[in-house]
Structure 1
Amino acid sequence: MGFASRVFVVVIALSVAVIFKQYRNLATPTPAPTINDLDQYWGPGDGKLYKENTAIKPFKIAYTTEVIEKLRSKLNDTPTFSKPLEGVSFEYGFNSNYLQEVLKYWKTDYLDKWSTREKYLNQFPHFKTQIQGLDIHFIHVKPKVSPDTKVFPLLLLHGWPGSVREFYDIIPKLTSKSEDKDFVFEVIVPSLPGYGWSQAAAKQGLSASRITLIMKRLMNRIGHPKFYVQGGDWGSVIGNQIAAFFPDNVLGVHLNMCGAMSQLAILKTIIASFKPSLFIDDRYIDFYYPALPRLKEIVIESGYMHLQATKPDTIGSALVGNPVGLAAYILEKFSTWTNPAYRELPDGGLLKYFTLDSLLDNIMIYYLTDSITTSQRIYLENFGVRELSAGFDRVQTKVPSACAKFKYELMHTIDWALRDIFINLVQTNHFEDGGHFAAMQLPTVLYNDIVEFVKKIQ
């Protein structure tokens, strides 16, 4: 072998060694973090003076006539809207013509029956309890069944710009006996800190990874050291991290926005793009590829995220106490995140799956609690250098896991990449319809997927 040949062989061998070493580095999971400060105080003032009240107190949603009439007066005093461009629906954002229809319904039909809507929101038992300096609100529904019926605790976690309202149609299905299952769920639905009636942190740093401890403590206080978790959006991130950080406490985790964002996951996604049929059932390739249109869609829809991950208080100040801005900002997400094609419809397709009452219920929670600013701070806390450098995207989830993939979700991750994180992925189902707000849009479909998952485990 000549000198040039030997050099070539050495170069190839070294290249292979470097690639293999780099792959091993990428593939090495991050260990679950050790939480040193289990009692980290998130409330206002000096935590040294804090003594936690562990009582669980009933809570009722109740607002005075004055509060509702003040809202009506604001809706009667709306600005002069710029007319949409000719031939434009929701492509530039919320169509101002349709926005005026929504506002008219809100200030008349909806507010005229606020007592009925308030009763609807109170149909489930609500509670509050104090955890790490914060008053945490939650819904707790116990099934009415015979003592011999199997009952599994289930923690349901919402995201932004949703709320506990997302789960109102699925709660009765989960807590009732039916022919499709020989068990029922005891359902706990908390408002995340800073959302709705849950108190916001007064200190910096309450990211998803730290919310996990608050949620775990909530379940333990209720009396459930072991439980199932289901979540979407931030609920998916928090739910997965609860399962990854506290595997002894989680029976299984079901998510409808599964993701893996590690460098290895991105590499696998790129590799699979060259021949998707080797990695994905042909029926579902269009959930993931071609990648460029999906990347373009994420860019189009992620402007809000850049705002909230950098200056949440600025955009929050423009929205708090402003029902017009709040409705436009939030309802636009319920349009395009349900199906991006709805941008081409003059009403944003909002009423294809939702009612104005249900959408306005969610808006009212943000408006009445002045929680839009505090709900958005989780983006800055999660996308900060400290959180991103922690390597949580490489912590493996060892408990049984399931992923429900609704076609019009903002993003999907192929199972080949998911399995690096969800190493016990027992179920993945693809659905040809549905988007980001699955529990509210297709509650029966999501319910069936949860039941199928739990049956496999039990």
Structure 2
Amino acid sequence: MSEVGQPRQIRIDFPEADLDRLQRKLDDARLPDQEITGGLKPWEYGTELVKLRQLVNDWTNGNPKDSMRQSVGSARQGVKAWWKGVESQLNRFPHYTVQIEGLDIHYQHFKSPSSNNDAGAPVIPFIFSHGWPGCFTEAFHFASKLVESRAPRFEVIVPSLPGYGLSQAPLKKGWTLKDSARVFDTLMTSVLGFKSYMAQGGDWGSLVTRFLANSPHCTIAHINFAPPQPPIWTMPALILEHAGFKGVAPKSLELMGYHPQEVQGIKRAFEYQDQGNAYTKIQGTQPSTLGYGLYDNPVGILSWIMEKFHAWSDPRCPAFTTNSTNQFSHSFINDQEILTTVMIYYLTNSVHTSFLPYKESMQLFQKPDWKLWEPAKHKPFGYSSFPYELAAGPKSWLAKYGLNWQYYKMHDYGGHFAAL
């Protein structure tokens, strides 16, 4: 039995002195006058200066854009006034910390108000695990809607991964996402008293969810991130693609009859391998070098994280399009949400410790030991496929995971940040 403390309710309420200091740093921030070199396509060399400048300016003034590309505050209300409004929204559902295995773990508990009509209705406990560069805030919109359901009823638990946000960082090296899953299982069972629960995760959260499914208490699981595990007959085309014969693999998959979105997933995977995964190398080898450099650098954190939001999102989402009337305007990938994420990393001093899974757990993706998930192989699993996921593959390739896939849905839009 894991060592467990008593939950303590808290509020998201960062000191005004910290917000005043952030305001001064943003007021004093400097950015280059022009892009790193001439003749660039937007985002070709990484973070686009025009977008970064716009976000820093809106952040400084306290008026970032929402999903409808409208400012959420006055022209110059400042960081503190804007952020206190965000905190008020985040505090609509209670937050707690609890000590498990010596770590203070933060979680938010979404629960519908009880009523006489709910008496006796079964409740489905549901744990959501985020990834990087996400945090607990990305679950807010779907979780607050989900608990409005009366049939079935849900309780949604959204913990912060150890080392992220308000959850304490691991106390020793070698802490993997398997350990985080064990702590989360303790949270759901020993702390909250659920006899059974369901789990969902993307990015690192997909690994946490797969480990949670090993628990006898987790009865059903769903993920939206499963890097492609190709069957052997596709290897020649994939090898040629890796060797520099661009377009061979997608064209071959098209001729094999794969769905266009499945082919799109492979294209995205190759793009990610060729142009988008350098961050994993530094975060997975020298995480402290970059982490200490970004630790007290709000604009640096924004530049580092914003590029991932752009590269891994559906390009039609509001944060990266100037078309305020586009059909995807209900997406919550917008300036307000990106800055909210950056604020959590900055105000909790956790950007450096958020890199730790890349050092301790990357092998679980790169060289997976399928025996680690043997206990979960008979659990019902679901998978949601999004067209702009950063690394995806055809539905049939999921068989290599050795899981009991019972549900599959191909969505019309969306990318890596499925919760948003």
Gaps of 5+ in 2: 64-78, 238-248
- Output the CA distance in 2 between the equivalents of 1:377 and 1:228: 26
What per-residue deviation string (whole Å, max 9, x for no partner) do you get for residues 362-414 of structure 1?
A: 11100000100101111100136999575557746321111000000011133
Is the 8 Å Cα contact of residues 294 and 301 (structure 2) preserved in structure 1?
yes
Counterpart pick for 2:380 among 383, 400, 416: 400
Q: Which has the larger radius of gyration?
A: 1
Q: Does 1:194 align with 2:169?
A: no
Gaps of 5+ in 1: 1-37, 40-51, 441-458
| Aligned Cα root-mean-square deviation (Å) | 2.9
Alpha-carbon distance change, 381 to 340 in structure 1, aligned in 2, over 3 angstroms: farther
- Output the CA distance in 2 between the equivalents of 1:201 and 1:436: 26
Aligned-residue offset at 1:209:
1.6
What per-residue deviation string (whole Å, max 9, x for no partner) do you get for residues 205-260 of structure 1?
A: 111122111111010121113100011100111101211x22x2112111111246
Aligned residue number for residue 430 of structure 1: 410
Aligned residue number for residue 13 of structure 2: 62
What per-residue deviation string (whole Å, max 9, x for no partner) do you get for residues 97-152 of structure 1?
A: 22122111111124132221111121111001001110000001222341132210
Equivalences for residues 2-401 of structure 1 within 5 A: 39=2, 52=3, 54-81=5-32, 83-84=34-35, 85-110=38-63, 111=79, 112-145=81-114, 146-177=118-149, 182-220=151-189, 221-243=191-213, 245-246=214-215, 248-259=216-227, 261=229, 265=230, 267=232, 269-270=234-235, 276=253, 282-289=259-266, 294-339=269-314, 353=331, 354-383=333-362, 388=367, 390-391=369-370, 395=374, 397-401=377-381
- Output the CA distance in 1 between the equivalents of 2:144 and 2:174: 35
Letter in 2 for 1:408: Y
Letter in 1 for 2:221: V
Aligned residue number for residue 245 of structure 2: none
Q: Secondary structure at the match of 2:352?
A: helix
Is the 8 Å Cα contact of residues 89 and 348 (structure 1) preserved in structure 2?
no
Q: Secondary structure at the match of 2:50?
A: helix
Alpha-carbon distance change, 348 to 99 in structure 1, aligned in 2, over 3 angstroms: farther
TM-score by length of 2: 0.82
- Output the CA distance in 1 between the equivalents of 2:29 and 2:378: 52
What per-residue deviation string (whole Å, max 9, x for no partner) do you get for residues 168-201 of structure 1?
A: 11012211126xxx20211000000000000001
Alpha-carbon distance change, 69 to 288 in structure 1, aligned in 2, over 3 angstroms: closer
Aligned residue number for residue 453 of structure 1: none
Q: Secondary structure at the match of 2:141?
A: coil
Aligned residues: 378
Q: Secondary structure at the match of 1:113?
A: helix
Alpha-carbon distance change, 341 to 83 in structure 1, aligned in 2, over 3 angstroms: farther
Q: Secondary structure at the match of 1:419?
A: helix
Letter in 1 for 2:166: W
Aligned-residue offset at 1:57:
0.7
Letter in 1 for 2:263: D
Q: Secondary structure at the match of 1:168?
A: helix
Q: Secondary structure at the match of 2:62?
A: helix
- Output the CA distance in 2 between the equivalents of 1:153 and 1:316: 35
Q: Secondary structure at the match of 1:176?
A: coil
Aligned-residue offset at 1:268:
5.8
- Output the CA distance in 2 between the equivalents of 1:385 and 1:423: 16
Alpha-carbon distance change, 370 to 266 in structure 1, aligned in 2, over 3 angstroms: farther
